[in-house]
Amino acid sequence: MPDSHAYRHVQTYTTLWVILLACAGFGGYMIWLEATSGSGESPLGLLVLVCSLEGGLLLLGRLVITVHPHELRWQFGYVGWPRWSVPLEEIVQLEPVQTSFALGSGIRGPAQHRLYNVTMGGTALRLHLRDGRTVTLGTPEPARLASFIEPRLPAADH
């Protein structure tokens, strides 16, 4: 039975793709230089390079946010891990925010105030949770994401 969701948004982690492609180019050039010197280790080096870069993209190459009937989920990459979720009943407030370019991208901040973002700054939706934690999800459409979450929150909280 397929997993049903009301909202799904996929964002490519463009910064990571650019960085890893640049690393691939540089690493490939270094391996080529090694191969031209007559070393027999270049095939192993190429294998390690390719596996490392593909692994990075498989694990972190995109951010997927989904709203389910009773849960908000988000995950990085294409293999479904790492992933997180919050029961909608734990959300007490939604706040559209602007993240700073200086914060960078990726998974940032302490566990109490974590940011999940695939852009260098930009718009996001901050979730204030019952236990005092905040979770900030980078998204180009914070109002739309909030419009899918708010109707699913417990009636007494909004």
pLDDT of the chain, 158 residues: tens digit per residue: 356 888 999 999 888 888 888 888 888 888 888 778 776 677 777 788 888 888 888 888 899 999 999 999 999 999 988 999 999 999 999 999 999 988 888 899 999 999 999 988 899 999 999 999 999 999 999 999 999 999 999 875 44
Domain of 34, in residue numbers = 13-59
Helices (H), the chain: 14-36, 42-60, 142-149
Do 50 and 72 fall into the same domain? no
pTM: 0.82
57-87: burial string, b at 16+ Cβ within 10 Å, e else: beebbbbbbbbbeeebbbbbbeeeeeeeebe
Residue 93 lies in a domain: yes
Question: Are residues 55 and 124 both part of a single domain?
Answer: no
Domains held by the chain: number:
2
The confidence score (pLDDT) of residue 157 equals 46
Q: Are residues 46 and 84 in the same domain?
A: no
Q: Give which of 133, 152, 150, 134 is closest to 142, Cα–Cα.
A: 150
74, 147: one domain: yes
